[in-house]
């Protein structure tokens, strides 16, 4: 949104079909505030030991701390609309699938350092375009 340039905040609006989602991702550069404008949206974020998952309805708001892994999922039966505000004009977006499987990190290293077996690592690398 051009009017926000230089103001230190960011804004995004999204419409999600039923079952539509923003998969597991982080914003290392900003906290995020989500407001539900339409539908039923489930949002969750995780720290190293806890998960907080909440199903939101119209008018509900949730704050996601900077850098925490989180998701947004339309769990309703109709299209859902959200507006997200960020505490930075450049919050960055790091999608977990791309970070893990869309790179050239060797598959055996991923399998050895995560609880994901080699066959799944290879399958996911094919989906995300990773090599190695």
Render the chain in DSSP notation, one character per residue: -GGGTTTT-EEEEEEE-TT-EEEEEE-TT--EEEEEEES-EEEEEE-SS-EEEEEE-TT-EEEE-TT-EEEEEE-SSS-EEEEEEESSS----EEHHHHHHSS-S-HHHHHHHSS--HHHHHHHHHHHT---
Residue 32 annotated as binding site: yes
Residue 27 annotated as binding site: yes
Residue 70 annotated as binding site: yes
Residue 89 annotated as binding site: no
Please report, in range form, the residues annotated as the binding site: 25, 27, 32, 70
Q: Which residues are annotated as a binding site for oxalate?
A: 27, 32
User: Which residues are annotated binding-site positions for Mn(2+)?
Assistant: 25, 27, 32, 70
């Amino acid at each position: 949104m051009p009017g926000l340039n230089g103001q230190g905040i960011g804004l995004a609006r999204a419409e999600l079909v039923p079952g539509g989602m923003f998969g597991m991702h982080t914003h290392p550069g900003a906290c995020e505030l989500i407001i539900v404008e339409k539908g039923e949206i489930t949002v969750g974020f995780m720290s190293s030991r806890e998960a907080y998952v909440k199903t939101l309805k119209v008018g509900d708001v949730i704050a996601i701390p900077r850098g925490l892994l989180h998701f947004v999922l339309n769990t309703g039966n109709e299209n859902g609309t959200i507006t997200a505000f960020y505490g930075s004009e450049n919050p960055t977006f790091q999608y977990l699938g791309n970070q893990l499987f869309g790179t050239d990190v060797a598959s055996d290293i991923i399998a050895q350092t995560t609880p994901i077996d080699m066959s799944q690592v290879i399958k996911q690398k094919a989906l995300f375009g990773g090599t190695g």
